[in-house]
Chains A and B, each alone.
Chain A
């Protein structure tokens, strides 16, 4: 297992945001995380990436306990993430944004530039290379988020709703990108509301409800799980 969560919990004063999540992710997997707004998905990401410290439980990454490590330490060990609301470095152009990520693994400007070029190519941002990050469209901004995270050469990539707000053609492009990233050997954990994408590209789906794991299984199992249908997916109206 590349990632192991054991009874991970996060309390904000009285509020229980994440309540004892246990989850295993194998290397090379593409796992989808779904759930209602406020179910605790992003908080879970923040716990895995180290932006938040858990109130309880244990997080292992690549065989080591990383529970108490800070975000930058986990990033150095190979956990990368995107932010739900894109956080481009507005004063830098696209190439420099990605280069800033590439400097995570190399001190050489030349090498960082070549990693950045490679990632920009993969993420289909070549034509926007010299554009100011703050001036990109939403779809490109989300691609930039992925590119910058990918430039750190992670083992595990956490994608937080990179498809939300995209047009159908852009969603299929994003799915292609996820598949390509996975093919390059990176393990992916994606929070997504776009069911079509989740059900088509993930081999395993985890449903989060009220801070806990409600169900876990293949897309087919999740779609036929009565509890999940009741809580999250909903019943088709005309049946």
Chain B
């Protein structure tokens, strides 16, 4: 068996069904073998498309995404996608071809040190330097990607390794298992958690992406049902609790739901579950909730006390923690008296709703709300990055886990289209809604070819404001309306563009077209693109100005026309 055959067999054994990739000189041999196997390969039109597609696939399935690229430019084109997966803890295996062993280090044609380049943005990067190491490295790479806090792993394989034969009898043992397991102090920490939790008058749960990657949503639901402790989510935690469930206050952060942010700034005890206290949530970390007791539960010890000081750090899987905690709370018959806290929260929910006007021009919020009504909370929702992303996070209630796909940590424009394609392969037959902007969409627009070729049911809504809306908004609010390089004076005709790729498309410019357009997009099978011409001047509100605390939101409150600080 040669290296390429081994690799294909390895992926088959791991239950991989789709691989996303792009061939090139140093992976021809691998593709020759791959093409004769049962694995289905999706040819994207750019390596960045492949890695984002693998990422989208992983997010909606929970299984690692797999992508392949050739050496040099093929490999470097993966870099943004790998960093994207790393910051959002998405399990990914990136296989890159490398120049032959004897050519390494000579600046050979299409040579780049992709292992060195990706080391800071992967859980680990490997280069296979000896034929016999291939099996051990692949096994280890897979394990690293999926265990603990998931993340991307890169395996760089020189071309001769694909061709050489793999001798299984001489497999050397990799030694990273020598790492001593960290001691589990869950029992001790639980006692402390119960002590502070039972005293809390205003407890709050902040649920993050760790609830989803740790498959702890059922445990969270049970915990919330039993204790009635309110829940806010981070952007990555959207879907961790059904947002229509009682007790869910919505997303916190720079553009969070006002009641959720107020809850965050007023709670006396914060239970962070699978969150990393990103600056989009905390503002200046030194000023974040200085009077609040913070319990932080994470599977990754390095997250604890990284950004904010934590009174009770707990290294644990979120599900296990919640199960154990709930068991102890029931044993000790601890009940929470939260009526006053809930009254306060409900008051905020009533007082500070999100507002926008549906007239005289089309508003992105309107499209998202209508799409949510028509497609329902169980649809797979994918976003790009920018204003439309925040509007989607605010206005689309996500009802199921792994149904919301967004580039949270890295904020990668151009992520949306390929991620939607990957998501569609991961959950065949389900409708995928992609909300994007005219800026983001053009960053990986070539993937329309992949979409069209596979006739996937991805409904694309371009919030077309002829500008880079989020940066424009900052320029309006914080740079004296100096719109430097954010207004697109030229945009293609997106309807004709989609037409050139054989994708049905139409354009809307009036508010009364919104509802029928969405219905039509959902009715037509296969991919559809809707070019929605929206208000250029619409801003995402509320906004916490840079460095502000969670309660320092600017917004329009109770139908006022001007923007003011809350309160």
Q: Tell whether A and B belong to one assembly.
A: no
Interface residues of A (CB under 8 A from B): none
Interface residues of B (CB under 8 A from A): none
